[in-house]
Structure 1
Amino acid sequence: MKKKKLYILILFVISVLVTGCSEEQNEPLENSKVPPGNITNIQIENQHGKVKLTYTLPKDQDLLYVKAVYTLESGVVREIKSSYYQNTMILDGFIQTSEHEIKVSAVNRSEVESEPVIVKVNPLENPMWEMLRSMKVEGDFSGIKITVDNPYKEAVSIELIKKDSLGNWNPFLPYIYSSSPQIRYITRGLDPVPQEFGLTIRDRFRNYTDTLYTIVTPLYEEHLAKNLFREMKLPGDADIQTVTDGMRSMWDGNSDYKNWNRMLTVTANTNIQWITFDTGQLAKLSRIKIQNYGEEVGGGYQFFYRGQLRHFEIWGSANPNPDGSWDSWTKLGTFECKKPSGLPYGQNSASDFEAGVAGFEYEISSDAPKVRYLRIKSLENWTGTTWFEILEVDVFGDTRP
């Protein structure tokens, strides 16, 4: 009997506690039905695609935040809240410079609002329109190159469509997302024939610019046959470590970042180091792609690490001097491998890892002469020394006479 009574008592206590918690969660922290005072002295600063409001807060002790409500051109009703610790707020999402009506109200801790104060704003031109005017679409090797100036560093996406052989417009490639001050994107794998494209810019509020239509002819490009590549060793060239297949591993076709079989120069040499190899084909080069081994660190894989190239040069020659001197070589470019995140050495973000797995492409100037032999010259790796490692190298260009 005692056990039964104790059991009933426990159930009763639990029931009271649950009911009490439920009731407590549903009750407001405060229960004032008196609205706060109005927002006053509202100052308007029209900016590009947005508006800054500065105002005087009411003196209510239970004031919680200030709220602004307005409707975008898309029909979406936008609500911006600003804490009572501040006397400013930014209203964004405008695509047009026309007049907009804003309702500004104060809200207390009981979620009771003041009467809204209505103000009229006229935002300046949305930065997307300037971006659209700056957009350039040009033919590039085996593709098209898109460049856009983004001086306000707005987060936007560039959406592409392409006309097919039946005259229908279809989405083309994934959207280009960026907030960089200079947006640059190159797509590959297109035939060197005139092709029609349409491009539009969209912001995070789903505002769209007009569509830019253009006809572009990609430039001819081929992937140089790697079965013709041959290693060379001229006087002054770096010594290669023998723990792997050496230079030959750079064109064995295995670009898996977990593949340890890569080219490594000796680490003891702290001077500038370079290697030389023969592509077996005279070509006007367009770009070179370099892929790295993912260094195993702490159970994971690191890029932008150890002997991976950071600052380097690529040189070319059609007929190099066998004494190893540089007088028969032309510099094809000075390059830097940039870490997307900018994080300190030894730290990789998801975008860093994705970039490392994909590999890095370096464009060759169109003014460069035709070459057959290549030199990769390491100026600095990611540890600040000069030894370097390369998992795979791919060379692109035009071998036609």
Structure 2
Amino acid sequence: MKNIIKLLSVSIVFILFSCDEHEREPIFKDNTIPSIIENVVVTPINGGLDIKYDLPNSSDLLYVKALYTTSNGEEAEVKASAFNNKLQILGFGDTNEKTVRLYSVDRSENVSEPITVTGSPLTSPVFLIQESMEITSDFGGARFTWENALNTPVSIELMSTNEQGELETVETVYTEQTATKSSLRGYESEPRIFAAVIRDRYDNFSDTIYANTPDKKLVPLFEQLIDKSGFNKVVLENDDNWDAWEGDYWFLFDDDMESIAHTLGTHPRPSILTLDLGVNVTLSRFTVHQRLSHGTAHAYGHGNPKTYNVYGAKELPDSDDLDDWILLKECESIKPSGSPIGTNTDEDIDHLYAGDEYTFDEATEIRYFRFAVYSTWDGSGYINLSEITFWGNIIE
């Protein structure tokens, strides 16, 4: 009996293997060259060509392939199945005329005679982004802003000069969002060069982009990190309790992303926190970090604040009514990809760890700060977050 079972097992494996082999190759092979595609129409697009055609009337057709030379001089190939009557070639970094050879290929891997077409791509997305980029002075450094209307995946190298005066990459941003901005910070208020280079997945890259100034230099706006050790807790009548569960009010100001502040979720919106900064300041910017006590587990969800306003006052008002405070900024936490809760891109995660950053348009002198949350990412009644950090100028 054991021998019979072994024999049956071997037979089944042999049959399955044989079926697999037959599925990989056509049952009947021939040497008949397939018919060519017809009525080819080439439409230039940014960085590429859209090619449409009529397929030959053949049930044996497997795919259509295009052979061409990239802007970098390399031979490349694109395939489109027999269920489509079009293919797209992307990745050209110039607008020179391109020659494309199109072939029909059948299930026996027979290849037709070529159809040769030409077309000149429109401007590469890399250079469209380059044209839109602006580099301007920012607090502690420079701000880079650009438009990516085609949502092309690109990397953008943000650069400045090192101690030897050489230009080097300080940070690389990976993005495909429509409108994006980023800043390099941590520099003294002295003239220095900032620059950027844009690169796509096909290794096309822009010229080096500089600030639009005579000497290509910018002077970073002065700011300083506001020392958290001088902060004082203030609790007004309509403030929420930020010490609930494992949270603590002071965990928002301990520079530890593993600790959190947490509310019970029973307070009506907005949930407010009040802080004495300990000194009079004009704030330049602040960052809010979502809950990071479990890495990315709670990213863009789980009670993290979504919309909130921040208020300030030079002197502590007699009233706790927000209308008696100066509205400094209306804020909204942004997820770069816009994808649903639970789905995060690399860009989303990078943004999560960098924190939501907000700059102030006006230099308003304050000492007291209020953080009022109106909604959370997932609609939770409770709120939790890891850290709030401030930069600005201290008023002596």
TM-score interval (norm. to shorter): 0.7 to 0.9
Q: Counterpart of 1:191?
A: 188
Alignment partners' CA distance in 1, 2:302 and 2:234: 25
Checking the alignment, whether the CA contact within 8 Å between 1:70 and 1:102 is kept in structure 2 is yes
The superposition leaves residues 228-269 of structure 1 with CA deviations (integer Å, 9 ceiling, x where unpaired) of: 00101223323444555732222233222xx3xx33334222
Give 2:251's match in structure 1, choosing from 249, 252, 257. Answer: 249
Give 2:325's match in structure 1, choosing from 324, 329, 348. Answer: 329
Checking the alignment, whether the CA contact within 8 Å between 1:267 and 1:387 is kept in structure 2 is yes
The superposition leaves residues 274-313 of structure 1 with CA deviations (integer Å, 9 ceiling, x where unpaired) of: 12110102111122222233477xx993233343211100
Alignment partners' CA distance in 1, 2:174 and 2:348: 18
Question: What residue identity is the alignment partner of 2:53?
Answer: Y
Following superposition, the deviation at residue 68 of structure 1 comes to 0.8
In the superposition, relative to structure 1, how do residues 27 and 178 fare at CA in structure 2: closer, same or farther (>3 Å)?
Answer: closer
Q: Counterpart of 1:179?
A: 176
1:366 aligned onto 2:334: no
Checking the alignment, whether the CA contact within 8 Å between 1:302 and 1:353 is kept in structure 2 is no
Identity of aligned residues (%): 27
Question: What residue identity is the alignment partner of 2:178?
Answer: P
Following superposition, the deviation at residue 351 of structure 1 comes to 4.1
Following superposition, the deviation at residue 56 of structure 1 comes to 1.3
Give 2:199's match in structure 1, choosing from 171, 183, 202. Answer: 202
1:34 aligned onto 2:32: yes
Q: How many residues align?
A: 390
Checking the alignment, whether the CA contact within 8 Å between 2:240 and 2:271 is kept in structure 1 is yes
Q: Counterpart of 2:213?
A: none
Checking the alignment, whether the CA contact within 8 Å between 2:240 and 2:272 is kept in structure 1 is yes
SS of the residue 1:391 aligns to: strand
Greater shift, 195-204 or 82-91, is seen at 195-204
The superposition leaves residues 16-35 of structure 1 with CA deviations (integer Å, 9 ceiling, x where unpaired) of: 88997898688654421111
Q: Counterpart of 1:79?
A: 77
Following superposition, the deviation at residue 42 of structure 1 comes to 0.7
Give 1:313's match in structure 2, choosing from 306, 309, 313. Answer: 309
Matched ranges for 1:2-401 at <5 A: 29-173=27-171, 175-213=172-210, 214-241=216-243, 243=245, 246-256=248-258, 259=259, 262-294=260-292, 301-326=297-322, 328-345=324-341, 347-349=342-344, 351=346, 354=349, 358=353, 360-384=355-379, 387-399=382-394, 401=396
Following superposition, the deviation at residue 318 of structure 1 comes to 1.0
In the superposition, relative to structure 1, how do residues 342 and 109 fare at CA in structure 2: closer, same or farther (>3 Å)?
Answer: same
Following superposition, the deviation at residue 153 of structure 1 comes to 1.2
Greater shift, 335-344 or 107-116, is seen at 335-344
Checking the alignment, whether the CA contact within 8 Å between 1:149 and 1:183 is kept in structure 2 is yes
In the superposition, relative to structure 1, how do residues 196 and 291 fare at CA in structure 2: closer, same or farther (>3 Å)?
Answer: same
SS of the residue 1:44 aligns to: strand
Question: What residue identity is the alignment partner of 1:391?
Answer: S
Gaps of 5+ in 2: 211-215
In the superposition, relative to structure 1, how do residues 344 and 89 fare at CA in structure 2: closer, same or farther (>3 Å)?
Answer: closer
Question: What residue identity is the alignment partner of 2:41?
Answer: Q
Alignment partners' CA distance in 1, 2:14 and 2:349: 54
The alignment's TM-score, normalised by the length of structure 1, stands at 0.86
Checking the alignment, whether the CA contact within 8 Å between 2:36 and 2:56 is kept in structure 1 is yes
In the superposition, relative to structure 1, how do residues 73 and 339 fare at CA in structure 2: closer, same or farther (>3 Å)?
Answer: closer
Question: What residue identity is the alignment partner of 1:388?
Answer: I
Alignment partners' CA distance in 2, 1:235 and 1:22: 74
Alignment partners' CA distance in 2, 1:292 and 1:375: 18
Question: What residue identity is the alignment partner of 1:179?
Answer: E
SS of the residue 1:301 aligns to: coil
Larger Rg: 1
Alignment partners' CA distance in 1, 2:305 and 2:14: 68
Alignment partners' CA distance in 1, 2:184 and 2:132: 19
Alignment partners' CA distance in 2, 1:236 and 1:26: 71
Runs of 4+ in 1 over 6 A off after TM superposition: 12-23
